[in-house]
Amino acid sequence: MTSRTETLDAQKFPGFWVRIASAVVDSLGFAFVTSALLFLFLHFSESLSTEALLQLFLFVWFPGSLVASVSILAFLNARGRQSLGKRLFGLVVVDQRFQPVSFRRSLLRTIIDCLLIGLSFLLIPFTQGKRGLHDLSSGTYVIRIRPPLRRELLIAVAALICTVGVESVAVEKLQHHIRKYLRSFYLPSTSMEPTLLRGDYITADTRWARTSEPRRGDIVIYESPKEEGRLLIKRVMGLPGERISLRDSVLYINGAPLRDDPGVYRGPRHSSMNIEPVEIPQGHYFVLGDNRDNSFDSRNHGPIPRSALHAKVGIVYLSVGDGYFIRWDRLGRLVR
């Protein structure tokens, strides 16, 4: 390649929309890689427990797909190679001497761009050599290795529209498929304290509702019998055919006190917290919040049918306190 001073010419550098179109087309690669890894992951998940499924999703699939996507894109743009978007517009990544970049430098610019979620491209219209922040930080340029295509701007706009359209459909279908296995929820109340805190973001196993029978102690997500569409999070405490009652902060199953009851009674004992003996119908479950003094549960709406159960809660993946601070000690915690 020629020297830097000879090539620092506007004709050598793609414009803003071409760079954006190239990056968006490259993002298709991310979509395909992450989708393939997800389908592979879910294919082998049928025999996994809820805890194992959610741990693998959060700590294996999620970081693994991100690392794989970034590494593949960095590899395709290193040593004179071209990713899909670069090949479409005849572009290549070079260093400040206008030589092909190493994998290490290509990886650095890709990671910076991912961390900035594409915002680095906003600098391109204002920098010499049409460089984004990821290029400035990693000491790279993106240059043309062939003359611009005729009507290149129209091609770039068409590529943007097509890619965004394909990714929108793919993301919608992917989300629909994921929801058959996993969903995330936000906890806005204190009804499950101290097990779950207000501000917890949790992952739940929706596959469980199709493949497993609820057990005592499972924390489940179900639809409220009193409000259609409203989802509640409580703990299964009474099983079909059992007789359940609550007197003086003691939970009884078939007349015997329940050992290791996770319920917490913080306020004064009063009759409204008690449960007169209830016979749980077949196919129904009696659910209670762990914070027994402040929970809307089967004491209010009665036992819930099996068909109302949507998912089993598994892991806290984020927790934000009232002062918008992150509770770091709760991240990745198994919910039991």
Of 191, 295, 298, 319, catalytic: 191
Of 138, 234, 298, 312, catalytic: 234
Q: Tell me whether residue 234 is one of the annotated catalytic residues.
A: yes
Q: Which two tokens stand for residue 312?
A: 């089993």
Which regions of 138-274 does DSSP assign to beta strands (E)?
140-144, 182-186, 200-205, 219-223, 231-238, 243-247, 250-253, 256-257
Q: How far is CA 37 from CA 34, 44, 61, 62, 66, in A?
A: 5, 11, 7, 9, 10
Residue type present at position 300: N
Taking the C-alpha atoms of residue 216 and residue 219, their distance in angstroms, rounded to an integer, is 9
Q: How many CB atoms lie within 10 A of CB 28?
A: 17
Burial class (CB in 10 A: 0-12, 13-18, 19+), 125: exposed
Taking the C-alpha atoms of residue 304 and residue 313, their distance in angstroms, rounded to an integer, is 17
Residue type present at position 210: R
By the 8 A CB rule, do 130 and 102 touch?
A: no
Q: Tell me whether residue 27 is one of the annotated catalytic residues.
A: no
The catalytic site residues sit at 191, 234
